[in-house]
Structure 1
Amino acid sequence: MIAADLDTSHEVATAVIALASGSAYSSDVDGHCRSLLETLSDPDFPGAIIPDQDGKALRLVAAASPSDWRRLSPVLLAFAGPTLTSFNGMPAENALSVEMATLLAPAGVLVAASIDLPERVPDREAALRAVLRARDTFARAPRRNRAAPEPTSWMLARFQDHLNVGRREAAASTLARLRTELRLDALNLKALQVQLHAAFDEWEAILNLPGFENLVRARRTPLTTALLLEALYRTLLEQSFTTGDVDAVTEAYRERVRALALPMLTKPLPSSLRDGGWRLIATEALLGGDEELVRAAAEHPEALGWLAGLMIVAPIKPGHTKTSLDDARERVVANDGADSVDAMAAALAALSRLSEAERHELIQLAPFRSSIRALEEESGAATLPASWKDWLERAVEPDFTNALDLARHGSEEWSMGEVARDPVNVAGLIESLNAAQSHPLAAERTAQALPYIVAALQRDPDFPNVAFRPVYASLLTLLAMGVGRASTVYDSSLVLLDAMLAIGTDAAGYRDLVADAEELVGEGFGAAMVYWVFEVVEAFMRAATPDPKARDQLVHRVLARLAPIQGRLSKLQREALRRLSQEFGWDLAGFTLEKPSEAVDDLRSRLGGKRIALYSLVEAASRQAKVALEGIADCVVDCSADHGGTAKLRALAENSDLFVIAWSASKHAATDFIREHRGARPLVYAQGKGVSSLLRAVEDGLI
């Protein structure tokens, strides 16, 4: 492009193209000339090549800044040098006409050369095509200032980070990028799509995924298996189950569910199964009489409901004693059918228990030979971590290169709830976590794996769990003080912060928590982080405090950092800042600030005439968001906190231009009802419980 910035280049291009429109290029070169004019605003091209018609004669003007000229000249000379044109690689003092120099003046100091073209039409066309090939060469060349490619493992961690707090649009955007950049195969992309829908209870959408019938038969992670079973129950069996009629349930299962569920009811059953999955297993056990399924279902009576009374467990019959070779065969076969780190670890452990003769016997069989080779290549080690404690202890090893991949699988399979039941295990986890903080490599890996660790913590039925308070605190400190602080993984830190505040702490612990929050906020931040900062403040404002002074100091420091950049904030961000500043006695008018840019922020026009619906059980937050929205635009905002389907909620779902659901402060019955009656109209999720989250969701939903 002709200028240093794109806006100026567009302005210059508009003026030059307007001038060129008054010139009639001959039909044989008109298309080439129009294409060359695009170089004026092409960010990949150094400078520009401008066709300049003087009477009947056509020449080209090559112009660029001194730094860009050093890139442009040799390439142009190579493609269209003296053999085809008059260009010899040297600039000329009078290359620009007075009129052209005036048009290009906003671009700054330029180096230019005038290029004469051959008179013969075929030769002139050949010269123009050569110049166009030079342009295409720059388009294909790698950009000098492009960012380094982002590892796929980081993108997957960010996807999990967004799911942890309910940022659906952000998670969907990351998934779309993984798909368009061909980062994952179709099966893994489908598994992530299942995970995305399940996070927001969109069970019917899972069932409607293209190729669902193939997905239930493919190699899956335990979590994907659990979510697919849950989707089958929620969409095809739940209505029959609520009647309490065993015949209706078994009939519906036999006709609509069994063919899809049966391929997934294999050992080992996923530890992440939900109530719906266990009810499918119990129903299959009733129909098929599989003793192992009956025994597995009977161990979860709380999930089975009225089906629990039908589970009759037969005594275990004495049978053939399983040898180590039998166990190894079963473990290897199980690993082939599941994408599971626990299945992989169990298979490796079973193989390690074989004698040399037994291992040789097993490898002689062709199916096992290829499976064992694939297992050892995939694992990259003789043993694999079987818990977060093992993972943290191995994080210090330089050759633990698949740490993030194993953390992703581990978040699905390593139950934090089981750890919490044993104080010794909790103490061991805390010890391993603290040891990881003192090692740079382990600290970096732990910070990168934070979304997966937080996801595992959230799956604990007792989250936030008092037993894990030191774990939450250590993770927050690691993220605040360690190498991960500069990363973009902020959302999961809010989960930990909310957990700590919900559990409560003494004054000293509270001050430590405030210090961690200040470190996470940082000394300076841009407009993109403002909503996140507001959510941090609101988390402290919602919770009881043993040290009000420490909390107020945090808010005052945040205000001091926000005030100087308020001119770059959107209307809703400025409104949130104004309300916070009033509450704490700040007069922002006393700051010398840049004037807000109304041209950039057109939120008033986007909101004008719209009807916005806000659903949240934290009614104070939705009321404050209503006042803020109606205060800056001529719009109507309705709030709802109904616990289930009502006539009012249905009217809002059907008639609102935008519907916002506070994901972490809502009832599933109500959200299911909203989605059912919302159809294809805009529906967005707010990630937090406060007013800032609702405002952020409205702003995102109106883009």
Structure 2
Amino acid sequence: MGAHEEFFGPGNDIDPTNLPPEQETSIESWLDDIGRKRIAFLPRAAGGNLYWYAFAPTAREQRELLFLLDAWIGPTFSDLPRSRGRLYPRDRFDTALAQSEVPPLRFEVLPRKSPFARDTVRQTLIVLSKLVRKRPPSEFDAPRTTVEILDDLGHAISAGDQRVALDCLRELETIADLEPANLAFLRIRVNAGLGDVDAILHDPDLTHVLQMRRPAGVTRLLQGAVYNRYLVEADRARDPDELARAAAAIPSHLRLLTGVAQPTDRASVMVEFLLAFLRSGPAEALARMAEEARSISNDLSDLLATLVPVIPEPADDSTSTAEPQTEPSKTKVTPDDQLHQLIEQGEWANAVAFGLKLPATPPVAALLLSCVREFSDAATAADVAAFVDNAGLRADVDVNDAVVRADLEWLEQFLSPSRALGWNSWFDALEAGDATAAAADFNVTADWAQLDRSVVAERLATLSDEALARMGEHGGAFLAAHSSLFSAADGAELCERVLAGFAVSGKSSLGVRVQTVALLEYMAAGSPSADVVAAALEWTRLIVEAATSAVTANWAVDVLQAATTSPQPLALDAKHGLLFGALDVLRPLQSSLSLADLEGLRLVAEELDTALPGDFVVDDAHGDPAAPFLYLKDAVVVLYSLTESATTRAAQVLRRLIPGIDVRTTAEHDGSPQLAALSANADIFVMVAASAKHAATEFIKANRRGRPVIQVNSRGSSAILRELAEG
């Protein structure tokens, strides 16, 4: 509210100018707080009763404020346990307030017409607002270290939670001491991890990134984005003419993405080849690249070979009867010339391989150093380092040669032990208690080779309790690099060990909360044994106890819904233990739960053949839980996700709230006739981006034919219901 007349007008019998001076001053102070986007309170009298409205600038702070009001005012002097701060839908005064971006909370002072109750509540709110205004930053507002943010970022990437990942990036941009180039590289890694090709190709710093030297891993990710945007369909068609036409459509500024040494994936191989093809590279070089592609796939090699220009056979003059012509003298091509030609053609890896055979001189060493920096291959860099030392380049560098000095500094950092550790050494650091190595730089670990499942299973199973806790504390980057193992059909045991790490670490960060829901969804999608489920749920109970607060209560509901999706008899006792343990934690935080959250809890309880305790059953007179979803009544609603637990739960809640609603769930892969039909015919199509492949996303959008898609960028049924409630 920006002025007295907006709140103290029709529907409110209070006129601040008629109040005692101290009360008028309090109201003016609260109005100023609202204008400054702070927590504040305003009174309203109507029909002889007194109501207070609590204003918060954000939804998060609103949930926290509910918890504070519950503790400070509570059932003694208010209807909070019953109304839960909801606006009254039949009150025109409240209807207008409900249009605010963050509507205020409302409660009535009880006992009605009690001067003692009214005075006590007013004095309590004055004290509470002063304390809130002067308190130090909470864990949600206090600046965090770069290591903490990066760990949460890793969890967000692993879980596919775009909202949390982008929040972490913004936090790094605001408070971290990362160089602009490193932030740009990190942003590309994050968007690649989330499968957001559009974000990569429209990155605000992409032009600068393309013009600078960058890690080979970043180049591969950019090549992957180019492949997915311009080449993937032509590649699937296996038509060389179509592939050539697709390559010609690649914008000129993206044709700098060459130089990856020994590409190991189809996208990089194809982009490297086609960009060389567009530059009219030598036929011999193209033929070599096509043949090298055979290590990836025979069909890829054969496809690329069809685009190699015919290499003319050398003329055979042995039978000619013509008089020999005197040829003009040819300039002899020296090894240095050959080296420069390879460099000019962007053949960095071949230039290094050729140059290493030349005499070790400072000029050649400087060229090789520059080349190896372009594609950042560790083994090749070690060979170049030895060549540099033999050539005496370090001692020969002119004090004014800033480029060579910078290349030498890069070489030293690139070959540093921390960069070469790898994930096995990271596990060793966890066991040794080396906090520095355990919290390795995300930009470093992103280039480490992924471990296979058997190695990960063995390492996780043999971690000591102390090392397991350190893994829970610093495991974000590890989980980001190995997310495919945990989401696989046989990943349940791996998920259980990570949940154990979170539980024994006691960590309750946003990243841990996001990852917990993701791991439970992965388990629900697999076929875990009863013992694994029981152990995982016991760890989950401990995580819920550590991480649930007034502002994370709906997360705890998501955890319960994800954890109990598997068949009811499976680990039933453990499910009951988790449910009632979570209810004990949520009991003092009930004001933070929405009606849809309570409906979700009731659903879980009924599926487990039990019932919610009586204190979790609220009077619906002050709000209809179905109200935000009534617009869906006559619509066909489709919920899409590759992990079905959240969409299943959201659909169940919607069916309970709106009997007869036509809501369908699907986990079909891209290209299926069923997904095409659902995409085309749904009135409302909801896609959980955290669990959707890029190809499926594009397929759905294409079949929607311009009709909107509601994209949910977080996991859990609450996120789906929240997006639908907001329309």
TM-score range normalised by the length of the shorter chain: 0.5 to 0.7
- Matched to 2:600, the amino acid is A
Q: CA deviation at 1:687?
A: 5.1
Any conservation in 2 of the 1:686–1:694 contact (CA below 8 Å)? no
* SS of aligned partner of 2:639: strand
**Partners of 2:547 and 2:201 in 1: how far apart?**
46
For these two proteins, the number of residue pairs brought into alignment is 576
Could you say if the C-alpha distance between residues 605 and 265 of structure 1 is closer, same or farther in structure 2, counting changes exceeding 3 Å? same
Amino acid at match of 1:696: A
- State the Cα distance separating 1:581 from its structure 2 match: 1.1
Which position in structure 2 is the counterpart of 1:277?
Answer: 268
Cα separation, 2, equivalents of 1:142 and 1:591: 38
Code of the aligned partner of 1:372: L
Partner of 1:434: 463
Shift of 1:617: 6.1
Moved more, 318-327 or 192-201: 318-327
Alignment of 1:587 onto 2:611: yes
State the Cα distance separating 1:577 from its structure 2 match: 0.8
Structure 1 counterpart SS, 2:615: coil
Paired residue for 1:86? none
1:516 and 2:539 aligned: yes
- Following superposition, the deviation at residue 297 of structure 1 comes to 2.3
Q: CA 1:566/1:243 → structure 2, altered by over 3 Å: closer, same or farther?
A: same
Rounded Cα–Cα distance in structure 2 between residues aligned with 1:547 and 1:487: 28
What's the RMSD between the two structures over aligned residues?
5.4
The answer (yes or no) to whether the contact 2:33–2:39 under 8 Å persists in 1 is no
Superimposed CA distance per residue, residues 302-327 of structure 1 (whole angstroms, 9 cap, x where no aligned partner) = 78386267599x9x999675489689
Q: How many angstroms does 1:493 deviate by? A: 3.7
Q: Given that residues 690 and 712 in structure 2 are in contact (C-alpha distance below 8 angstroms), is that contact kept between their aligned partners in structure 1?
A: no
Determine helix, strand or coil for the equivalent of 1:263.
coil
Which residue is 1:575 aligned to? Answer: 599
Structure number with the bigger relative contact order (C-alpha 8 A, sep ≥ 6) is: 2
1:172 correspondence with 2:181? no
C-alpha offsets along residues 26-50 of structure 1, whole Å, 9 cap, x if unaligned?
Answer: xxxxxxxx99996576889999xxx
What is the CA distance between 1:380 and its match in structure 2?
11
| Cα deviation 1:140-196 (Å, max 9, x = unaligned) | x99745653112332233233223223233333443444466765554554455445
The one of 470, 475, 495 equivalent to 1:450 is 475
Q: Report what 2:406 is aligned to.
A: 370
Equivalent of residue 609 in structure 1, options 622, 628, 631? 631
TM norm structure 1: 0.64
- What's 2:200 paired with? 206
Is the contact between residue 651 and residue 664 of structure 2 (CA under 8 Å) also seen in structure 1?
Answer: yes
Shift, 1:403, TM fit: 5.5
Q: Which residue of 1 aligns with 2:238?
A: 244
State the AA in 1 paired with 2:232.
E
How far did residue 387 of structure 1 move? 0.7
* 1:409 match: 444
Deviation at 1:579, TM superposition (A): 1.1
Counterpart Cα distance in 2 of 1:46 and 1:582: 38
Contact 1:686 1:697 in 2 (8 A): no
Q: Structure 1 residue 555: deviation in Å?
A: 4.2
Task: Tell me the alpha carbon deviations over residues 568-610 of structure 1, each in whole angstroms, 9 at most, x when there is no partner.
Answer: 411221111111111223232x5335846987x7864433324
The whole-number CA distance in structure 1 between the counterparts of 2:433 and 2:656 is 56
Partner Cα separation in structure 1 for residue 189 and residue 625 of structure 2 = 33
Judged with a 3 Å threshold, the aligned counterparts in structure 2 of structure 1 residues 369 and 397 are, in CA distance, closer, same or farther, namely: farther
1:389 to 424, 427, 430: 424
Q: Which residue of 1 aligns with 2:261?
A: 268
Of 653, 665, 676, which residue of structure 2 is paired with 1:628?
A: 653
Which consecutive unaligned segments of at least 5 residues does structure 1 have? Answer: 1-9, 24-33, 48-102, 112-137
Does structure 2 retain, via aligned residues, the 8 Å contact 1:531–1:573?
Answer: no
Q: Which amino acid aligns with 1:447?
A: G
Shift of 1:451: 2.1
Report the residue type matching 1:358 in the other structure. Answer: G
Aligned to 2:370: 333
TM-aligned CA distance change 1:543 to 1:168, over 3 Å: farther
For 2:119 and 2:407, how far apart are their aligned partners in 1?
Answer: 67
Q: Give SS of 1:492's match.
A: helix
Task: Give the Cα separation in 1 of the matches to 2:181 and 2:549.
Answer: 38
Partner of 1:301: 297
Matches within 5 A, 1:523-542: 525-526=548-549, 528-535=552-559, 538-539=562-563, 541-542=565-566
Verify the 8 A CA contact 2:153 2:165 in the aligned structure 1.
yes
SS of the equivalent of 2:256 reads helix
**1:489 matched to which residue of 2?**
512
- The change in CA–CA distance for 1:332 and 1:205 in structure 2 (over 3 A counts) is same
1:108 aligns to 2:123 (yes or no): yes
* Aligned twin of 1:684: 711
CA 1:619 to 1:637, structure 2 compared with 1: closer, same or farther past 3 Å? farther
Residue 615 of structure 1 contacts residue 660 of structure 1 at CA under 8 Å; is this kept in 2? yes
3-state secondary structure, aligned to 1:639: strand
Per the alignment, residue 700 of structure 2 pairs with: 674
Distance 1:403 1:265, change over 3 A: farther
Hey, what's the Cα distance between the residues in 1 that align with 2:707 and 2:553?
30
Partner of 1:93: none
Residue 489 of structure 1 deviates from its aligned partner by 1.5
In 1, are the aligned partners of 2:160 and 2:193 still within 8 Å (CA)?
yes
**Which SS does the other structure have where 2:200 is aligned?**
helix
* Residue of structure 1 equivalent to 2:214: 220
Q: Secondary structure at the match of 1:438?
A: helix
1:660 matched to which residue of 2? 686
Identity of aligned residues (%): 19
- The structure-2 alpha-carbon separation of the partners of 1:499 and 1:669, relative to structure 1 and needing over 3 Å to count, comes to closer
Task: Kindly state the Cα deviation for residue 210 of structure 1 after the two structures are TM-superposed.
Answer: 4.3
CA distance in 2, matches of 1:413, 1:598: 57
Other structure's SS at 1:609 match:
helix
Q: Are 1:233 and 1:276, in contact at CA under 8 Å, matched by a contact in 2?
A: yes
Counterparts in 2 of 1:245 and 1:142: CA distance versus 1, 3 Å: same
Deviation of the 1:390 alpha carbon: 1.8
Query: How far apart are the structure 2 equivalents of 1:646 and 1:427?
Result: 34
Q: Distance in 2 between matches of 1:296 and 1:523?
A: 53
Cα contact 2:530–2:571 (8 A) shared by 1 = yes
| Matches of 2:556 and 2:414, distance apart in 1 | 38
Which letter maps to 2:441? L
- Find the counterpart in structure 2 of residue 58 from structure 1: none
